[in-house]
Chain A
Amino acid sequence: MPNVAQWLALLAATLYLAGVWRTRHAGKPWSLWRSASFVVGTITLAVAFAAPVNAFAHHDLRGHMLQHLLVGMFAPLGLVFGAPMSLLLRNLAPARARATVTLLGSMPVRIVSHPLSAALLDIGGMYLLYLTPLYTQSIATPWLHHVIHLHFVISGCLFSWAIAGPDPAPHRPRWRTRLGVLILAIATHATLGKLMYAWLLPAGTGASPGEIQAAAQWMYYGGDLAELLLLVALMQQWLRERQRAARGKPLPAG
């Protein structure tokens, strides 16, 4: 029997595919890659919350880390590169679509979705979880546990979107700023992995040093892979922009 998180993932996939069906039915194109990306994102979420992974995460810090990587880093990549916001806008009536765009361009949304604040929410949340007693409390308190998972799905999506999301983002800072924030995020994430390895954090879990150090290394190398994918996506956008700009300009004389 699927649990609540898996039902939500299924719901998201169903809504997305219904939107794709409607768009294509209206004769408008929608990339198959985008659809595949979103569906893989929802499958990643469903796998992350599958019973065996949940059980592994409950008694072993490495299991927790696997779940954390899937939920907070890999699933958001799939979801964001499915461009769900563009799909939504195509399926809304013009008046509603305009209202949605206005909402997305409002000051609070712009502040929260700035790469720097998105990184702070995402990576800052990890520092809070592993360096304070929050982790041991979340194990003892089910609702806190769920809130933290939800936080990492949302902040992971927000961060991926702020750095290199494919949805139109008229207020997004320029490429250099986003690359700078991404470097900062990779550095702080790698540092956190090393801190946890060196200082045997999170404290008070009763896990053996070997288990904690293995979990920290999973976090370091797994996070690297997710950040590498995001970096490639950002550079791909950079390349397209440069090529578009070059096509508009004649070749330099010489």
Chain B
Amino acid sequence: MSSLPYPSHADPRRTLLASALIGIGCMAAVDEIVFHQLLAWHHFVDRYTAFALASDGVLHAIELVLLVVGFFMMIELHGAGRQAPGYRGPGFLLGAGGFQVFDGVVDHKILRLHQVRYVDNLWLYDIAWIGFGVVVLAIGWLLLRRAQRGHATSQH
């Protein structure tokens, strides 16, 4: 279809990694902007133990750094002409969905740092939260399979 040659020195693994980092950072930003600031379902502090506060701090630092590192990796790949077409979308979705599932399972249920919303029938919110993450992960995985077979839209 296109006359452009497929960039032979493209780096799919690194493109996937960089866009996954950006996906994780963006999902964390959605959590902060939508659930903390707009809906106010989540609070600045939910549990008053030192462990909960410190793990909040550590998670926050890692999210911020992953977002910025992902962007800079992407800039570098772009500048060197090594971005692999077709791998950015799946990377982003795998990162975002993976983070959503991690947040829903590890933070909410295992560590019990905070909950999705402080209401009755919390399990409905949990299913929606984790289910959304699983759906995003699944779409990311399907797109990744297509890219690996060379069928991604942006590869043509």
Closest to A191 in B: B57
CB atoms of A231 and B65 under 8 A apart:
yes
Name the B residues within 8 Å of A184 (CB-CB). Answer: 61
Query: Is B45 interfacial (CB-CB < 8 Å)?
Result: yes
A61 to B15, CA, bound (A): 46
Query: Is B128 interfacial (CB-CB < 8 Å)?
Result: no
A145 to B44, CA, bound (A): 30
Name the B residues within 8 Å of A182 (CB-CB). Answer: 65
Query: Is A174 interfacial (CB-CB < 8 Å)?
Result: no
A197 to B53, CA, bound (A): 10
CB atoms of B60 and A197 under 8 A apart:
no
The tally of residues in A whose CB lies under 8 Å from a CB in B reads 35
CB atoms of B75 and A239 under 8 A apart:
yes
Query: Is B106 interfacial (CB-CB < 8 Å)?
Result: no
CB atoms of A187 and B48 under 8 A apart:
no
Contact pick for A194, options B8, B56, B64, B76, CB 8 Å = B56
Chain A 182-223 interface mask (CB, 8 Å, partner B; 1/0): 111011111111110111000000000000010001001000
B residues 38-85 near A (Cβ < 8 Å) are 44-45, 48, 50, 53-54, 56-58, 60-62, 64-65, 68-69, 71-72, 75-76, 79-80
In angstroms, how far is the closest chain B Cβ from the Cβ of A174? 15
A228 to B68, CA, bound (A): 8
CB atoms of A238 and B48 under 8 A apart:
no
In angstroms, how far is the closest chain B Cβ from the Cβ of A48? 25
Stretch at the interface among A13-21, A77-85, A246-254: A246-254
* Chain B positions near chain A (C-beta within 8 angstroms): 8-9, 44-45, 48, 50, 53-54, 56-58, 60-62, 64-65, 68-69, 71-72, 75-76, 79-80
Question: Can you list 21 A-B pairs with a CB-CB distance of less than 8 A?
Answer: A179-B65, A183-B61, A186-B65, A187-B58, A187-B62, A188-B57, A190-B61, A191-B53, A191-B54, A191-B56, A191-B57, A193-B57, A194-B56, A197-B44, A220-B44, A235-B68, A239-B72, A239-B75, A243-B80, A252-B9, A254-B8
